Amino acid sequence: MEHQDNNDMDLDELLAKATEVLKQQQAAMISLKSITEEKPSPLETVKLDPGVKSEELYIEDTNKYGAVRLQADRTVILKEEASGSKLSEKRKVQIGPEAINVQSAPETLPPALDWDKKKKKIMEKETAGPKWFDMPAPDMTEEIKRDLHILKSRAVIDPKRHYKKGTMKALPKFFQIGTIVQGPTEFFSSRLTRKERRDNIVDELLADNQAKSYYKRKFLEIQEQKNNFTRKGFKRRKDRK
């Protein structure tokens, strides 16, 4: 009987300890929850006070896309006589001790939009048009003509490069000449030294000995083919007689 009482006391003590531990865990969970609720979320941004209210501004937001307009009741229109006969309008905005002058947009059109039909036709002949940023026609010199002829026949210059045949028979009227600047990765592979550089394409081709030997060989082959063709034709005509 006495042994059974001791077992009951041990069970009561264990149950009391378990309930106490459970209460401590619940209290810790409640305190942790209160701390997390008081801590601000990292997604919330800090709002700064600029010192100016939106009602005091001389502009107002008109829609959700951020477009603004000038409030007429907070501005004063000042008409000033310009250098010409027209009057230029300015809006003076008063905000506290400071005053801001807002210049109205000019009513005159840009020169390209103010041309008449005759002027537009003349400018279309002198420039490539507004789609090409009014690129002017350069002065056609003999040197530029030679370079353009070489570019048109570039398919026969290098035997290892193949180009599409050009459809333009006449020389172009509007073009620009630039200089290719290689990047730092091609400093030794594609860059020409100062000694190798020339003023135009013809001088560069003539300065290349390997290219000159190739052109000379091809020229002799073409001349030989032409001579053989004329000899065969002359022989046929002679045999017919």
What is the block-wise mean pLDDT of the chain (241 residues), using blocks of 10 residues?
60 83 83 61 67 70 63 54 48 49 51 69 78 85 90 82 81 86 78 80 83 86 82 68 63
Give the three-class secondary structure for 200: coil
Report pLDDT for 185: 82
CA angle 64, 69, 74 (to 5 degrees): 130
Distances (CA, A) of 140 to 152, 170, 207: 16, 13, 24
Task: Give me the residue label for tokens 């003023």.
Answer: 199
Question: Residue 15 — φ and ψ, nearest 5°?
Answer: -65, -40
- Is the distance from CB of 191 to CB of 181 less than 8 angstroms? no
- Is the distance from CB of 154 to CB of 191 less than 8 angstroms? no
Report pLDDT for 97: 46
Prediction pTM value: 0.42
Report pLDDT for 43: 59
Give the three-class secondary structure for 75: strand
